[in-house]
């Protein structure tokens, strides 16, 4: 046994690998349906974080009928189960199969226009749709992509996810290395992907409105955009009724005024409001399981903080 690894680490890892091998035998669509059923069990009867999910859906959509709140909550579990299975299967897919999971693309011309400027692109997204598949699409569609990610607690899982991303065309930048590696990536004309809807402890963040409540939000993309004069593009892969996806891209404004802190806050507000707009369209495909408003500054009014 390698130093730092436990029996639990190995059990979790080999359990995952065994499940992936079995699901590969039934095919992508059928495996996704299995994932939906597993996700639904997390909602009921297991009730894993069910109160958190329902509470946050209510807070995001005040006045929504209770039956609709519960429908969105359950659907988000099914979506998470399917997304997890799809992501686990992706390492065995080549470029053409990745692209074949999409039935439409909107806004790629924006990516091509900004890419022609030669400064690289900062892609931002949230835990909406299938975010891992969205990154894979960008790489498979011909743009070198580096994804900023935190290390996982299980080192075997961490290595597996890193290998997964690399095998589908992405390089991984662990967040501790971002200050050094993101500028290099943009100088080389690469894309850099970052998720912007989890305010982790120790991560440079600012508080901006998300569904009317103040959410601790990573400011790294805004800081890099100003420092590197690099454009920001919001990207999201949305699942369709067919089971395939449509990939969407839209530019996020970066308009420096010379007031650095004000500019950073405005950019963070803009990419957060863009994400909110997409979540409002597809709330069933959002990761409501994370306590988005948990971390608050002292003195935040209750109506602007974590819903109770």
Provide, for the chain, the percentages of residues in helix, strand and coil under a 3-state DSSP scheme, each rounded to the nearest 5. Answer: 50, 20, 30
**pTM for the complete prediction?**
0.92
CA distance 91 to 98: 10
Average pLDDT of the residues in 84-95:
84
pLDDT one-digit tens code per residue, 211-229: 999 999 999 999 999 999 9
The pLDDT of residue 182 is above 80 = yes
Average pLDDT of the residues in 87-114:
91
The pLDDT value given to residue 202: 64
CA distance 294 to 210: 12
Residue of 290 and 118 predicted with greater confidence: 290
Q: Which of 71-75, 161-165, 246-250, 292-296 has the lowest mean pLDDT?
A: 161-165
pLDDT one-digit tens code per residue, 242-294: 999 999 999 999 999 999 999 999 999 999 999 999 999 999 999 999 999 99
C-beta contacts of 13-17 below 8 A and 24+ residues apart: 13/154, 13/156, 13/157, 13/160, 16/88, 16/157, 16/160, 17/160
Those residues with Cβ within 8 angstroms of residue 98's Cβ, 6 or more apart along the chain or in another chain: 90, 133, 136, 137, 140, 168
The pLDDT value given to residue 201: 66
**pLDDT bucket at 300, cuts 50 / 70 / 90:** very high
The pLDDT value given to residue 118: 86
The pLDDT value given to residue 2: 66
């Amino acid at each position: 046994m390698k130093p730092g690894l436990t029996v639990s680490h190995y059990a979790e890892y080999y359990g995952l690998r065994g499940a992936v091998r079995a699901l590969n035998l039934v095919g992508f669509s059928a495996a996704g349906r299995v994932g939906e059923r597993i996700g639904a069990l997390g909602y009921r009867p297991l009730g894993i974080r069910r109160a958190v999910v329902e509470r946050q859906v209510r807070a995001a959509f005040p006045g929504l009928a209770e039956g609709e709140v519960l429908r969105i909550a359950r659907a988000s579990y099914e979506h998470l189960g399917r997304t997890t299975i799809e992501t686990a299967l992706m390492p065995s897919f080549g470029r053409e199969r990745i692209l074949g999971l999409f039935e439409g693309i909107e806004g790629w011309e924006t990516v091509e226009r900004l890419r022609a400027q030669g400064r690289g692109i900062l892609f931002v997204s949230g835990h909406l749709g299938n975010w891992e598949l969205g990154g894979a699409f960008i790489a498979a569609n011909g743009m070198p992509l580096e994804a900023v990610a935190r290390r996982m607690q299980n080192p075997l899982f961490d290595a597996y996810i890193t290998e997964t991303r690399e095998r589908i065309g992405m390089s991984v930048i662990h967040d501790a290395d971002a200050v050094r590696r993101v500028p290099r990536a943009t100088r080389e004309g690469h894309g850099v992907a970052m998720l912007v809807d989890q305010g982790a402890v120790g991560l440079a963040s600012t508080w901006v409105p998300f569904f009317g409540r103040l959410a601790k939000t990573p400011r790294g993309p805004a800081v890099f955009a100003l420092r590197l004069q690099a454009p920001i593009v919001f990207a999201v892969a949305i699942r369709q009724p067919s089971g395939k996806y449509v990939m969407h891209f839209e530019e996020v404004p970066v308009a420096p005024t010379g007031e650095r802190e004000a500019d950073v806050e405005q950019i963070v507000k803009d990419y957060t409001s863009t994400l909110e707009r997409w979540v409002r369209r597809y709330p069933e495909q959002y990761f409501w399981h994370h306590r988005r408003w948990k971390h608050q500054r002292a003195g935040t009014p209750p109506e602007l903080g974590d819903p109770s």
